[in-house]
Structure 1
Amino acid sequence: MRFTIQRDRLVQSVQDVMKAVTSRTTIPILTGIKIVASDEGVALTGSDSDISIESFIPKTEEDEVIVNIEQPGSIVLQAKFFSEIVKKLPTDQVEIHVENHLQTVITSGKSQFNLNGIDADEYPHLPQIEEDNVFSIPTDLLKAMVRQTVFAVSTSETRPILTGVNWQIEGSALSCIATDSHRLALRKATIETESEASYNVVIPGKSLNELSKILDDHNDTIQIVITENQVLFKAKNLLFFSRLLEGNYPDTSRLIPNESKTDVVVTTKAFLQAIDRASLLAREGKNNVVKLSTVDDEVIEISSNSPEIGKVIEELPSISKEGEDLKISFSAKFMMDALKTLEGTEIKISFTGAMRPFIITPLNDDSILQLILPVRTY
């Protein structure tokens, strides 16, 4: 194998596939990056057996030569060293060639590295996926949906299914739901699909986070293929595979109240800042609790009290209030996490009582919903 490649393109691809490489693997070869040079270009692959990422660098793009292949071939190189080396190479062109016994020479300007390679045939194959049912979604929408749900997944392994995001697809309707049993995030969108297939799968939150980091912010569409135990995201020159979590996701529709006793409309930014200030004293307490009370139809009160530190009270104008007066306590962190994902200048908070879950939605937008369970304070 021998090829010359633009350093910047190589660095970008290496950074992308490194997101799937872990040092904590029981399969030693997975600490490496697989490099395959073919007549079309160079493909790099990284995997930790849960996530696999393949980044492809074409020979030419928009009439510019990116890779010059002298001899096709393949090799696996230690990811940790290879990624550090390519980042620090001195010139814009890099030559990589494999000599006898898998010795790999990386040359750039006057700098030359020799790395011991591993036979690429020993590298596990990427999942073979039948692409019967493909649906498409714009990249920026996919990234928004991940951002607005993935923060609510559970970080505890006691219920592994809750560490993922539940994707439900019916025709062209996609719903993404995440919950850690103390809060819930829901985002709906319309997707492009040619099949009437319906799916109900759970994608690990970690996979969606890594995918979101790799994708550029643009309107190109991403194709998504779901099989029994894998999901594949196909972007331009990028394949991202993730295993699906096994098990049944709980039916969350029962958690979402469909009536309310008190509705408050507030300005998102002012409300977030007031919660943030109140949490300054709450943080020291054991569960970061802030209290909300309705004063009258135009004012709500945000307060927090830590006996050993002090207390804070702030009055905040509300745009409107309908229904009963209310006092409720909740986690400041959960509230701030939820508010940061909501798009829109005004939000409606619907309460069904001091000890019942309440929901937060942008005004006049039912595609996104955040639900929080209150905290008992005695």
Structure 2
Amino acid sequence: MKFIIQREQLISSVQNVMKAVSSRPVIPILTGIKIEAKEHGITLTGSDSDVSIESYIPREEDGNVNVEQIEEGNIVLQAKYFPDIVRKLPEKTVEIESDPNLKVTIRSGKAEFILNGQDADEYPQLPTIQTDDSFEIPIDLLKGMIKQTVFAVSTMETRPILTGVNLNLSNNVLKFVATDSHRLASREVPISNTNLEFKNIVVPGKSLNELNKILVDSEETVEISVTNNQILFRTKYLNFLSRLLDGNYPETARLIPEQYKTQIQVKTKELLSTIDRASLLAKEERNNVVRLTTQESQLIEISSNSPEIGNVTEEIMAQLMEGEELKISFSSKYMIDALKAIEYDEVSIAFTGAMRPFVIRPVNDDSILQLILPVRTY
């Protein structure tokens, strides 16, 4: 195998596939990056058997030559050394060549490294997913959906299914739901041009976080294909494959209250910064608890009290307030996470009492929903 490649292109591909490489994988060869040279371009692969990422560098694109003098072949190189070497090479191009004894020479300018490679035939074959059953979604929309839900997954391994985001596609609506049983985040978007339907597809939160980092904000689309235990996200030059979590995701629809006793509308940034300030004195407590109290003439009081430290109160004006008077306590962290995920100027918050879950939505948009369980403070 041999080729000469633009160093910048190689660096960005290596960075992408490195997100799937584990330092302690189940199969030892997975500590490496697989490099495959074919006449039309170079493919790099990284995998930890839960997530696999393939990044493709075409021989040329838009008249620019990325790779030249390609002699076909493949090799696996240690991910511990290869990325650092590539990043620190002196010139704009890199020549990579392997010999029959799996020795790999990396040249750039006057620098020359020789690394011991491993046989690429021993690298596990990635499962191929039939992409007939697939649908497309704009990249920026998918990134938004991940950002608005993935923070609410559970970090506790006691219920592994809750460490993932539940994906559901029916009646041309794609829905993401995440919950750790103390809060819930959901987002739905219409999907056109597909008859595909699925439910109870649960993608690990960790996988979606990595995918979100790799996908570059653009107008392009990502193609999503699902099989019984894998999901594939595919863009022009990237394949991101993740295993799915086993088990049944809980029925979350029944958690969302139908009726409300108190409803307020507030400016998102104002509420966010007020809760953020109130939480400064709530740090000692496990939940960073903050209290919200409705008052006369559309005023809302946000307060926090920590006996050893002191207390804080601040009032903000609601745009709208209706229903019963209310005092409710909640985790400031959960509330801050929820408000940050809603990228709208105003939110509507609906309460069904001091000890029942409450729902936060953007004003005039039901596609985004955040639900939080209150905290007992007596």
TM-score, structure 2 length as denominator?
A: 0.99
1:230–1:244 CA contact under 8 A, matched in 2: yes
2:135–2:196 CA contact under 8 A, matched in 1: no
1:261–1:352 CA contact under 8 A, matched in 2: yes
Per the alignment, residue 241 of structure 1 pairs with: 241
Task: Give the drift of 1:150.
Answer: 0.1
Per the alignment, residue 151 of structure 2 pairs with: 151
Per the alignment, residue 369 of structure 2 pairs with: 369
Amino acid at match of 1:322: E
Per the alignment, residue 218 of structure 1 pairs with: 218
Name the CA distance, whole Å, in 1 between partners of 2:82 and 2:196. 45
- Given the alignment of the two structures, is residue 271 of structure 1 paired with residue 271 of structure 2, yes or no? yes
Name the CA distance, whole Å, in 2 between partners of 1:288 and 1:91. 52
**Following superposition of structure 1 onto structure 2, how do residues 80-99 of structure 1 map, counting pairs within 5 Å?**
80-99=80-99
1:297–1:322 CA contact under 8 A, matched in 2: no
Moved more, 12-21 or 125-134: 125-134
Amino acid at match of 2:120: A
Per the alignment, residue 181 of structure 2 pairs with: 181
- Given the alignment of the two structures, is residue 348 of structure 1 paired with residue 353 of structure 2, yes or no? no
Amino acid at match of 1:358: F
**Following superposition of structure 1 onto structure 2, how do residues 70-89 of structure 1 map, counting pairs within 5 Å?**
70-89=70-89
Task: Give the drift of 1:200.
Answer: 2.7
Task: Give the drift of 1:191.
Answer: 1.6
Residues 43-85 of structure 1 show CA distances to partners (whole Å, capped at 9, x for unaligned) of 0000000000000000000011110133110000001100111
Name the CA distance, whole Å, in 2 between partners of 1:4 and 1:185. 47
- Given the alignment of the two structures, is residue 230 of structure 1 paired with residue 234 of structure 2, yes or no? no
Task: Give the drift of 1:132.
Answer: 2.2
Task: Give the drift of 1:131.
Answer: 1.7
Task: Give the drift of 1:285.
Answer: 1.8
Name the CA distance, whole Å, in 2 between partners of 1:286 and 1:200. 33
Per the alignment, residue 293 of structure 2 pairs with: 293
Per the alignment, residue 198 of structure 1 pairs with: 198
Secondary structure class of the residue paired with 2:232? strand
Per the alignment, residue 161 of structure 2 pairs with: 161
1:37–1:69 CA contact under 8 A, matched in 2: no
Per the alignment, residue 134 of structure 1 pairs with: 134
Alignment gaps of 5+ in structure 2 = none
Name the CA distance, whole Å, in 1 between partners of 2:175 and 2:323. 30
Identity %: 61
Name the CA distance, whole Å, in 2 between partners of 1:43 and 1:353. 56
Name the CA distance, whole Å, in 2 between partners of 1:159 and 1:196. 29
Per the alignment, residue 40 of structure 2 pairs with: 40
1:41–1:69 CA contact under 8 A, matched in 2: no
**Following superposition of structure 1 onto structure 2, how do residues 331-342 of structure 1 map, counting pairs within 5 Å?**
331-342=331-342
> Measured at CA, do residues 353 and 298 of structure 1 come closer, stay the same or move farther in structure 2, by a change above 3 Å?
same
> Measured at CA, do residues 26 and 10 of structure 1 come closer, stay the same or move farther in structure 2, by a change above 3 Å?
same
- Given the alignment of the two structures, is residue 116 of structure 1 paired with residue 116 of structure 2, yes or no? yes
Name the CA distance, whole Å, in 1 between partners of 2:361 and 2:355. 19
2:168–2:174 CA contact under 8 A, matched in 1: yes
Name the CA distance, whole Å, in 1 between partners of 2:46 and 2:119. 15
Amino acid at match of 1:108: S
Name the CA distance, whole Å, in 2 between partners of 1:171 and 1:123. 40
Name the CA distance, whole Å, in 2 between partners of 1:72 and 1:87. 24
**Following superposition of structure 1 onto structure 2, how do residues 284-323 of structure 1 map, counting pairs within 5 Å?**
284-323=284-323
Moved more, 291-300 or 272-281: 291-300
Task: Give the drift of 1:112.
Answer: 0.4
Name the CA distance, whole Å, in 1 between partners of 2:4 and 2:199. 44
Alignment gaps of 5+ in structure 1 = none
Per the alignment, residue 58 of structure 1 pairs with: 58
Task: Give the drift of 1:193.
Answer: 3.6
What is the count of residue pairs matched by the alignment?
A: 378
Name the CA distance, whole Å, in 2 between partners of 1:193 and 1:202. 23
Name the CA distance, whole Å, in 1 between partners of 2:70 and 2:218. 34
Per the alignment, residue 22 of structure 1 pairs with: 22
Name the CA distance, whole Å, in 2 between partners of 1:343 and 1:8. 34
Task: Give the drift of 1:186.
Answer: 0.5
Secondary structure class of the residue paired with 2:80? helix
Task: Give the drift of 1:320.
Answer: 1.0
Secondary structure class of the residue paired with 2:295? strand
Task: Give the drift of 1:336.
Answer: 0.1
